[in-house]
Structure 1
Amino acid sequence: MYQSDVTQFINSLKTKNPRLEEEQRKGRALPWDKRPADPDEQSTIRQSRVAQPPYPYFMTV
């Protein structure tokens, strides 16, 4: 069965380091899988947002 060079490279990496996928999942979880903020903090964040007008570069003065 044909395997591309990239597939062969990835398979060799996984063979050399069996914990590679686990480490990748841990690394991905660092910035993205955060617990949601508490309700008080969420309301403060919502209130502090500044509304951006749609298409500000087409507005005429």
Structure 2
Amino acid sequence: MYQSDITQFLNQLKQQKPKLEEEQRRGRSLLWDKQPIDLEERAEQKESRVEQTPYVYYQNF
């Protein structure tokens, strides 16, 4: 059965590093998987936010 060069490379890489997929999943979870949003905390943060003036460099006018 024909396998492309890329498929052969990936299979060889997986044989050399059997924990590669697990490491990739852990890395993904660090960067991309987010915790569920706490709606109460989010509302509290929104209420405590201080409004910014339209032009921040001249706040004394």
TM band (smaller chain): 0.5 to 0.7
Q: Which has the higher helix share?
A: 1
CA distance 1:37–1:3, shift in 2 (3 Å): same
**Count of residue pairs brought into register by the alignment:** 47
Quick one: distance in 2 between partners of 1:39 and 1:46? 10
Quick one: distance in 2 between partners of 1:25 and 1:38? 25
Cα RMSD for the two superposed structures: 2.0
Quick one: distance in 2 between partners of 1:10 and 1:2? 14
How big is the shift at 1:44? 5.4
Give the partner amino acid of 2:18. Answer: P
Matches within 5 A, 1:1-61: 1-43=1-43
Unaligned runs of 5+ in 1: 48-61
Could you list the structure 1 runs, at least 4 aligned residues long, displaced by more than 4 angstroms after superposition: 44-47
TM-score for the superposition, normalised by structure 2 = 0.63
CA distance 1:39–1:3, shift in 2 (3 Å): same
